[in-house]
Amino acid sequence: MRFGVDFGTTNSAIAYYDGQQLHPIVTDPANDNPDMMPSLIYVDRDFQVTVGAAAASAYLQHETGRPVRWRQREAGEIEITVASVGSSGGDPIEFVQQVSVLVDEAANGRLIQSIKTALFNERYEGTRIFGKFYRVDDLIAIILRRLRQAAERETGERCDQIVLGRPVQFSTNPLIDARAEAILLKAAHLAGFDEVRFELEPVGVAYLYHRRSAARQTVLVFDFGGGTLDLTIAEVGGPQAPVILATGGAPIGGNDLDRRIMAALLPYFGGGDEGALAADMSDKLLAWQTMPELSRPHYMERIHRLKRGGHRQSMRALETLISRNMGFKLFKEIEQVKKQLSENPSSTLEFSFEAIQIQETITRRRFDRMIASDLAAIRASVHGLLQSAAVHPDQIDVVLRTGGSSLIPAVRQLLEEIFSQDRVQTIDPLISVTGGFAVVAHGLNPQAAQTSPGELITEVDPSTANLHIIGVGTAVYSDRAFIISRIPSRLHGLPALQTTHTSLTARDDAALQFCLNHPARIYVAYESATARIPYWLRGFDIENLRIEIEDEFALIRRAMQVYSKRFEPGTVILGGNQAEGFEGQVMVNYFVIVQPEDQVA
pLDDT tens-digit map of 562-586: 999 999 999 999 999 999 999 998 9
pLDDT of residue 85: 44
Which of 510, 522, 533 is closest to 586 using CA atoms?
Answer: 533
- CA-CA distance, 36 to 12, in Å (whole number)? 6
Question: Pick the residue with more confidence: 211 or 461?
Answer: 461
pLDDT at 490 over 80: yes
In whole angstroms, give the CA distance from residue 562 to residue 545.
6
The per-residue pLDDT for range 184-210, each reduced to its tens digit, is 999 999 999 999 999 888 888 888 888
Mean pLDDT of the chain: 89
What is the model's pLDDT at position 46?
93
State the DSSP H helix or E strand holding residue 425, giving kind and residue range, or none if neither. strand 424-426
Q: Long-range CB contacts (< 8 A, 24+ apart) of 47-53?
A: 47/129, 47/130, 47/132, 49/142, 51/142, 51/143, 51/146, 52/27, 52/28, 52/146, 53/28
Sign of CA dihedral 483, 488, 489, 492: negative
* Contact criterion met (CB below 8 Å) for 596 and 522: no
**333: pLDDT strictly greater than 90:** yes
Torsion (CA) 333, 336, 340, 341 in degrees, nearest 10: 70
Q: What is the DSSP string of 132-166?
A: EEEEHHHHHHHHHHHHHHHHHHHHSS---EEEEEE
pLDDT band for 508, please (50, 70, 90 cuts).
Answer: very high
How much is the pLDDT for 74? 56
User: Which neighbouring-strand residues pair with 573?
Assistant: 513
- Dihedral of CA 324/325/331/336: which sign? negative
Q: Give the mean model confidence (pLDDT) for residues 293-308.
A: 90
Question: Quick one: pLDDT band at residue 24, thresholds 50, 70, 90?
Answer: very high
Calpha distance 51→112 (Å, rounded): 10
Mean pLDDT, range 514-532, rounded to an integer: 94
pLDDT band at 430 (very low <50, low <70, confident <90, very high): low
- Partners of 96 in the β-ladder: 79
pLDDT exceeds 90 at position 131: no
Quick: pLDDT tens for 369-409. 999 999 999 999 999 999 999 999 999 999 999 888 899 99
pLDDT confidence band for 83 (50 / 70 / 90): very low
pLDDT score of 267 more than 80: yes
pLDDT of residue 421: 93
Is 520 a residue whose pLDDT tops 60? yes
Q: Are 509 and 575 in contact (CB under 8 A)?
A: yes
Alpha-carbon torsion, ordered 450, 455, 458, 464, to 10 deg: 30
pLDDT (0 to 100) of residue 91: 52
* Distance, CA of 442 to CA of 434 (rounded, Å): 12
Residue among 438, 7, 487 at smallest CA distance from 228: 7
Q: Within 13 Å of residue 75, how many CA atoms lie on the same side as its CB?
A: 13
How much is the pLDDT for 445? 64
Residue 76 has pLDDT above 90, yes or no: no
pLDDT band of residue 108 (cuts 50, 70, 90) is: confident
b/e string for 302-341 if b means 16 or more Cβ within 10 A?
Answer: bbeebbeeebeebbbbbbbbbbbbbbbbbbeebbebbebb
Across 528-549, average pLDDT:
94
Instruction: For the chain, report the end-to-end CA distance as a whole number of angstroms.
Output: 25
Contact of 236 with 417, CB cutoff 8 Å: no
Query: Does 234 score more than 80 pLDDT?
Result: yes
Asked whether residue 77 carries a pLDDT value surpassing 90, the answer given is no
Kindly report which listed range (19-23, 63-67, 498-502) carries the lowest average pLDDT score. 63-67
Report the largest interatomic distance among the alpha carbons of the chain, rounded to a whole angstrom: 83
pLDDT, mean of residues 404-422: 93
pLDDT at 226: 85
Strands 512-516 and 570-574: antiparallel
Confidence of residue 64 (pLDDT cuts 50, 70, 90): confident
Q: Can you give the pLDDT at residue 251?
A: 85
User: pLDDT band at residue 70, thresholds of 50, 70 and 90?
Assistant: low
